[in-house]
């Protein structure tokens, strides 16, 4: 049994929000991180990903399945139980994602300064 996902798994000021490097859609990298330790149900994913609507999370999961990064398994029983898990291809994304996160952490201040400068320039016209 995998340990429960923490609701605070992703800090609002996480470097991933600043990183200009994207892995799929806005939520894809976070979903991949949630699945790093094993299969999860949709309701489990919603705990740390509380900022995403059910519709958008479903779209992200479908995109990750389409790209072969995650698998969806239906478990028969009195009630249907669906789990999502990383495929070997999806697991291969963990190392590049870790490198991108490390880069964003290293350049955190530069990224913040650049964004603030840009937004200031846009406000001034």
pLDDT in tens, 64-100: 999 999 999 999 989 889 999 999 999 999 999 888 8
Written as six digits, the tokens of 119 are: 């937004």
Asked, for residue 2, whether it belongs to a domain, the answer is no
Cα–Cα distance measured from residue 57 to residue 16, given in angstroms and rounded to the nearest whole number:
17
- 18 CA to centre of own chain: 14
Cα–Cα distance measured from residue 68 to residue 32, given in angstroms and rounded to the nearest whole number:
12
Tokens 């149900």 identify what position?
A: 41
Total domains present in the chain: 1
| 22-42 pLDDT, tens digit each | 677 888 989 999 999 999 999
Q: Coil, strand or helix: which one is 84?
A: strand
Which phi and psi (to 5°) does residue 85 adopt?
Answer: -150, 160
CATH number at residue 68: 1.10.10.10
Is residue 73 a contact partner of residue 85, using CB atoms and an 8 Å limit?
yes
Q: Output the pLDDT for position 93.
A: 92
Asked, for residue 55, whether it belongs to a domain, the answer is yes
Asked, for residue 79, whether it belongs to a domain, the answer is yes
Q: Output the pLDDT for position 120.
A: 87
Which residues form the domain of 30?
15-124
Tokens 């200009």 identify what position?
A: 20
């Amino acid at each position: 049994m995998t340990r429960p996902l923490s609701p605070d798994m992703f800090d609002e000021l996480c470097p991933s929000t600043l990183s200009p490097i994207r892995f799929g859609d806005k939520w894809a990298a976070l979903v991949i991180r949630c699945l790093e330790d094993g299969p999860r149900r949709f309701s489990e994913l919603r705990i740390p990903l509380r900022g995403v609507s059910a519709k958008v999370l479903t779209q992200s999961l479908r995109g990750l399945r389409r790209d072969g990064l995650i698998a969806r398994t239906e478990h028969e029983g009195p009630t249907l139980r669906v789990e999502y898990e990383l495929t070997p291809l999806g697991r291969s994304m963990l190392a590049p994602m870790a490198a991108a996160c490390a880069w964003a952490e290293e350049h955190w201040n530069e990224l913040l300064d650049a964004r603030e400068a840009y937004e200031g320039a846009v406000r001034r016209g």
